[in-house]
Amino acid sequence: MRERLKICVLAIAALACTAQPAVAQQILRDAETEAFMADMSGQLVKAAGMEPKNVQVLVINDPEINAFVAGGQIVWVHSGLIAQADNVNQLQGVVAHELGHIEGGHVVRFGEGIKEATGVTLLSLVLGAAAIAAGGAEAGMGIMGLGQQAAMTKFLAFSRGQESSADLAGARYLSKAGLSGKGSLEFFKKLQNQEYRLAIPQDNSYGRTHPLSGERINVLREVYTVDPAWDRPPDKALEARFERIKAKLIGFVSEPTQTLQKYPETDQSIPAHYARAYAWHKSAYPQRALDEADALLAAAPHDPYFLELKGQILLESGRPRDAVAPLREAVKITNQPLISVLLAHALIATEDESNFAEAEQVLRLAVQRDRENPFAWYQLGVVYERRGDTPRAALATAERYAMMGEHPMALRSADAAMQGLQAGTVDYLRAQDIAMTSRAAIEQQRKKR
C-alpha cells in the first residue's frame, strides 16, 4: 500500500509540473520590444491595480501560440503568439488574461487544487485498502481507480475555474483601460481554429485544463459587445510599433527564406525593411543587411532602434570601430541598458585600450539599471581583467554565475574576489553576499540528492 500511495501522489505532482509551463526557453531580450511591451500593457496593469514598474511582459523564443505566468509579476509571451497576432489589440487581450492570473494569485493557489485532488486520492486509497483487507480485492482496486479519476476531475475543474476567472478579469481590465475586447475574441477564434485542426471534440471541456475556446467566446461576447469601448479602434501609434516588433521578431527567429517570402523586396514598408535586415544578417549577407538598415535610417535618421540595428550588424560583421558611432548615438537618445551593453561590446572589440574607460563607465551604468544581464557582467569582467583589476573581474564573474544559477562557480569566484578586495567595502560585501547565498544553494541541492 505504501508503494501504491507513493505512485498516486507522484501522479498528482506530475500533473502540477506539466500544468504550468516552465521558463526553460531562451528569453529574447530586446530594448525596443521591452519598451513596447511596457507601453502596450501599462493601462492594463494599472486597471488590474498593479504598479507598471513592477510588472514585466517578456518574450521567450517558442513557436507555440501561448502565454503564461509562473510566479512573480511577469507575463511570459511566446514569440509564436506575437507572430500569429494580427494587431496590438489581440496581444493586449492575451496580456489582460494573464494579468488576471497574477491578480487572482492563481500560481500561488495552484497548490490548493493539488491539495484537494490529493485529498480525494488519499481517501480512495484508505477506503480501497479497507475493502481489500475485508477480502474484496477487486472492489478495493476499483475504489482506488475511481478515486484517482475523481481526483483528476476535481483538479481539472479547479484549473478551468481559474481560466474562466482570468478571462473575466481580463475583460474587466480592458474595459477599465478603455480598450476594445474585439482583439480578445479574435484571438480566441484563432485558438478555436487550432482546436478544429487538431480534431478536439467541441461538445464540452470535460477532461481539459482550459475551457474550450468556443465556450469562452460565448461567455466573453456577452461582456465585450455591450462595453463602451467595443468599437474603439486600436491606438495607431501602438499599432505601428506592434508591426515593427512583429516583423523584427519574425526576422530574428524564423528561417531567412521564410522571412523573405513573408516580406518580399517589393514591400518597402518599415516592418519589411526591419524583417529583411535580420534575415540578410542571419544569412551572412552583411551588405544587404546594412542596405536595409540604411533604408530605415533614411526614413528616420535618429530612431535609436534603427541605429542599434545598424551598429549590431556592423559589430557582428567584424567592424566594431564603425559600430561605435551609431550605437553611441542610440545610447545617447535612450540611455537603454541593453543598447549600452552592445556599445560597450563594440568598444571592447576595437582592441583599443583608449576605449576601455568608456566601456567600463557604460557597463557600470548599465548594470545599475539592469542587473539581470549575464553578458553585461561578462563584458565588465573583461574590462577589469584587461586593466589588471583581478578582484573586480572575479566579482563580475561571480555576479554572472550567480545569475545563471551556477552556484559552485559563483562561490569560487566570490571567494577569489574577497581575497583581493578590502574588507568592509561595497564590493567586498557584495562578494560576501554572493558567497553566502551560493553556499546555501549548494547545500540545499546536496540535501535534495
Q: What is the mean pLDDT of each run of 10 residues along the chain (449 residues)?
A: 33 33 69 95 94 92 86 87 94 92 60 41 43 46 44 41 80 94 88 66 50 77 92 94 96 95 97 97 96 98 97 97 98 95 97 94 94 93 94 96 94 96 95 96 87
Burial class (CB in 10 A: 0-12, 13-18, 19+), 186: middle
DSSP H helices in 104-253? 106-133, 137-176, 182-197, 213-224, 236-253
Which residues are CB-neighbours of 294 under 8 A, at least 6 positions away? 310
Burial class (CB in 10 A: 0-12, 13-18, 19+), 193: exposed
- For residue 74, the 8-state DSSP code is E
CA 223-228-232 angle, 5° bins:
105
Give yes or no for a contact between 366 and 380, defined as CB atoms under 8 angstroms apart: no
Cα pseudo-dihedral 330, 335, 339, 345, rounded to 10: 100
Predicted pLDDT at 379: 96
Residue 144 to residue 135: CA distance in whole angstroms = 15
Give yes or no for a contact between 134 and 183, defined as CB atoms under 8 angstroms apart: no
Coil, strand or helix at 25: coil
Predicted pLDDT at 193: 74
- Lookup: cell for 291: 542596405
Residue 363 to residue 396: CA distance in whole angstroms = 11
- Lookup: cell for 254: 524564423
Predicted pLDDT at 26: 85
Which residues are CB-neighbours of 363 under 8 A, at least 6 positions away? 340, 341, 344, 376, 379, 380, 383
